[in-house]
Chains A and B, each alone.
Chain A
């Protein structure tokens, strides 16, 4: 079975721009979660989607949004980028959120 894939792997943007990250889950997995990882804040939960519905959202501003498609692929969008958005963004898929989560390699976003 193919693992979780994330694209792009690396991204450099400037303040004020917007960015879209993509995540393709393991086949058959309907739950996709997104996390932001920074040295200062650690791993922080962004949101979780299940069957195209956002079931839970972390404590992030409205500039962070996401969606899930009918094939379970998910995207997250960050608008009006700030320097503090520089981070490793991780996506994980699972059969359901309480089950083992399988992580992708992450997208390293740098905001200049």
Chain B
């Protein structure tokens, strides 16, 4: 089963609003990564946050990590129509593999 679980599965908001997506995982991690996927295309890396970091920013993106709760959140501020996509969190556990969650489908309505 997927170790990363995103919540909600789908989110629809108005352009200009903020979007928050959450990710929970089950085991200890080295880092947690967030990716975006536009329909039917490859994934694009957004942010990598290491297990000893609590918050990270990149432009309109803010990621937090709470290792005690085994959870992370991705905040997109001032959303735009181009932000419409699926967002995935992924964790690297001890073994050499990146495990993805099921993703949150974000729709930005104009």
Q: Which residues of A are in contact with B by a Cβ distance under 8 Å?
A: 4, 31, 33, 35, 42-43, 45, 48, 50, 55-56, 58, 88, 90, 92, 97-106, 108
Q: Can you list 17 contacts pairing A with B, beta carbon distance less than 8 Å?
A: A4-B42, A33-B98, A35-B100, A43-B100, A45-B97, A45-B98, A45-B100, A48-B96, A48-B97, A56-B97, A58-B97, A88-B40, A98-B30, A99-B48, A101-B98, A103-B35, A105-B41
Report which residue of B40, B88, B101 has the largest number of chain A beta carbons within 10 angstroms of its beta carbon. Answer: B40
Contact of A43 among B30, B41, B88, B96 (CB under 8 A): B88
Count of A-B contacts judged by CB separation below 8 Å:
60
A100-B40 in contact (CB<8A): no
- Give the distance in Å from the alpha carbon of A90 to the alpha carbon of B86 in the complex: 15
Tell me how far the C-beta of B96 lies from the nearest C-beta in chain A, rounded to whole angstroms. Answer: 4
The yes or no answer to B43 lying at the interface (CB within 8 A) is yes
Residues on B close to A: CB < 8 A?
2, 30-31, 33, 35, 40-45, 48, 88, 90, 92, 95-103
A interface, over-half SS: strand
Taking a contact as CB atoms closer than 8 A, the residue among A35, A42, A56, A103 that contacts B102 in the complex is A42
Which of these, B40, B43, B92, B103, contacts A92 with CB under 8 Å?
B43
Q: A42-B2, A42-B103, A88-B40 are in contact. Are A102 and B98 (CB under 8 A)?
A: no
A48-B96, A103-B44, A108-B40 known; 17 new pairs, CB 8 Å cut-off, are A31-B96, A33-B98, A45-B100, A48-B97, A50-B96, A90-B42, A92-B43, A98-B30, A98-B92, A100-B33, A101-B33, A101-B43, A101-B45, A101-B98, A103-B35, A103-B42, A105-B42
Instruction: Say which residue of B43, B45, B48 sits within 8 Å of A90 (CB atoms).
Output: B43
A56 and B96 contact, CB distance less than 8 A: yes
- CB contacts (< 8 Å) of A98 on chain B: these are 30-31, 92, 96
Q: What's the Cα separation between A92 and B90 when bound, in Å? A: 13
Residue numbers in A under 8 Å from B103 (CB-CB): 42-43
Contacts of A58 in B (CB 8 A): 97
Is the beta-carbon distance between A97 and B2 smaller than 8 angstroms? no
In angstroms, Cα B38 to Cα A105, docked, is 10
